[in-house]
Structure 1
Amino acid sequence: MKLTITPLALLLVVMLIFFGCSKAVPEPDLATKKLNELYPGDIQKVDYIEIRSGSTGQLKSFKDQEQIQDWINKVRKQILIPDPNQEGRTGFLYGISLFENKELKLGFTNNNISGKYYLHNEELVNEIQVLFESTQ
C-alpha cells in the first residue's frame, strides 16, 4: 500500500509545481487608440478597400484613389475605446479590409480590431456605411 501512495503523492507534487510555475495569461493592452495607430504602417498608402455587410454578406470593393483617401482622412483619427468586456462574441455590422498593392494590411470589423473589442463608435460606423452605400 505504501508503494502506491508514494508515486501518486510524487505525481501530485510535480503537477502542483508545474501548474504553479506556469505563466499567467497576459492582460490585453486596453489603451484608447486611433484607427491609424492600429494600422501597420502608413494608412495613407491604402489603395484598395473591401467592405462586407454583416447583415447581408454583400461584398463591395473600392479602387478609386480619391474616394479611398477621402474616406481614410475621415476615419483615421477616429478614437477607439476598448471594451472592458473582452469576451468573445459573434456577428458584426461591417467587415473592412484595407490593402496596399494587393496585400491585406489590416482586416477588422466595426467593433473588433486585431483581436481586441472596442465600444461602438457611431461616427466610424456611419463613415463605413456611407462608403459601403456609395457608388463605386
Structure 2
Amino acid sequence: MKRTLLTMVFTILLSGCGLETLTIDDYYKKNLENVSKIEVFDSSNSNSRTTTNKEEIMSFIKEIKDIKFIPDEDQSERDGFLYSITFYEDDKATLQFGLNQIGDDYYNTEPDIEPIVYEFFNSMSEQD
C-alpha cells in the first residue's frame, strides 16, 4: 500500500503542471505562412520595430519555428522581459510571446532564441 501511494505521489510530481515541450509551429495552430506582419518590442530601450516584408517574416519564422520551448520547472510569475514578439495576420494579432514565455507559461528554449531575435530586431527593414 505504501509503495502504491509513493508511486502515485511520484507520478503526480513528475507530471507537474502538465506543460509539454512545444515549438512555435505546434503552438500557432494556424498557418505560419499567413503571418503578414511581425512586431518586436525591445524592453531594454522601449524600441519597437515592425516588418511587413514577407521575405524577412518567412526567414525569421523559418529560424524559430522548430526551436523547442521546454517548460521551466519554476512557473512562478516574473516581472519584466527583454523582447516581446507579436505575429499578425492582416491587422489582427494572432500570437504574442517572449523569449521565455508563451501565454502565462514559462519556458527555456533549445537552442537559445535570444540571439536569433536580437539579430532579427537589429536587421528589420521597417521601424515604428
The TM tier, using the shorter chain, reads 0.7 to 0.9
Q: CA, structure 1 residues 80+135, in 2 after alignment: closer, same or farther (shift >3 Å)?
A: closer
Pick the structure with greater CA Rg. Answer: 1
Which stretches of structure 1, 4 residues or longer, exceed 2 Å deviation after superposition? 120-123
User: Aligned equivalents of 2:64 and 2:109: distance in 1?
Assistant: 14
Matched-pair identity in %: 26
Gaps of 5+ in 2: 1-15
* Structure 1 unaligned residues grouped into runs of 5+: 1-26
Number of aligned residue pairs: give it. Answer: 110
Shift of 1:53: 0.4
Q: Does 1:105 align with 2:94?
A: yes
Q: Indicate if the aligned counterparts of 1:40 and 1:105 stay in contact, CA closer than 8 A.
A: no
Across the aligned residues of Structure 1 and Structure 2, the Cα RMSD in angstroms comes to 1.5
TM-score of the aligned structures, taking structure 1 as reference length: 0.75
Higher RCO, 1 vs 2 (CA within 8 Å, ≥6 residues apart): 2
1:28 Cα deviation from its structure 2 partner: 3.9
Whole-Å separation in 2 of the counterparts to 1:99 and 1:28? 29
Structure that is richer in strand per residue: 2
TM norm structure 2: 0.80
Could you give the per-residue CA deviations for residues 81-123 of structure 1, whole angstroms, max 9, x where no partner exists?
Answer: 0101100001111000000111100011111102110025553
Letter aligned with residue 83 of structure 2: Y
